[in-house]
Amino acid sequence: MTTLVAYATKHGSTREVAEAITRVLDERGLEVEVCAAREVATLEPYDGVVLGGALYTGRWHPDARAFLKRHRGALTALPVAVFGMGPRTAAANEVADSRAQLDKALAAVPEVEPVSVAIFGGVVDPARLRFPFNRMPASDARDWDAIDAWAAHVAERLTRSSSLPSR
């Protein structure tokens, strides 16, 4: 099974998470390619897709939204897992707010039904941000154990979905 892990990132932390997911999927026996979402021209070579994007000021990264819209036809026939990166902490209200933002983006393409959706904490590096965001305190809310566990779950879901006869 060949799986694409596509990511949309502004400062690189979503790419790092995509690479970690790629590693776990590879360890579970899937053939995996990782690529920036904006660079993916076709989904023909793939049996499954993982799409991740950062959440900024209430919206999922434009490259992730464009990927969904551009490939919506192919994504209806493939198992798809989706993740968003955003909250500065793991506080329930921040995770819920980020999930609502991701759900809103997914609602724009209702024919795409992910087998799994996750929200992971984001990264704030003031040195890489412009005013006024460069005044925010530095933080890294990524939970690598949770990311690895979700990737293992996704590997199982993708493998199970690809073995169904009605793909």
Of 101, 93, 162, give the one whose Cα is nearest residue 82.
101
Q: Is 98 contained in some domain? A: yes
Q: Where are the alpha helices (DSSP H) in the chain?
A: 13-27, 62-70, 72-75, 92-107, 144-162
Q: Is 167 contained in some domain? A: no
Q: What pTM, to 2 d.p., does this model score?
A: 0.88
- 156: amino acid identity, one letter: E
pLDDT score at 138:
66
pLDDT score at 142:
83
pLDDT score at 91:
82
8 A C-beta contact, residue 17 and residue 147: yes
Q: How many domains does the chain have?
A: 1
Mean pLDDT of successive 10-residue stretches along the chain, which has 167 residues: 94 92 97 98 97 88 97 96 86 90 96 96 66 64 91 94 52
Q: Which domain holds residue 44?
A: 2-162
Q: Residues with Cβ < 8 Å from 22, sequence gap 6 or more? A: 5, 32, 34
pLDDT score at 22:
98
Rg (CA), the chain: 15
Cα dihedral 106, 21, 160, 37 sign: positive
Q: Rounded distance, CA 91 to CA 81, Å?
A: 23
pLDDT score at 137:
60
Q: What is the CATH number of the domain that holds 99?
A: 3.40.50.360
pLDDT score at 167:
38
CA 15 distance to own-chain centroid: 9
Q: Is 18 contained in some domain? A: yes
Helix (H) or strand (E) holding 108: none
pLDDT score at 68:
96
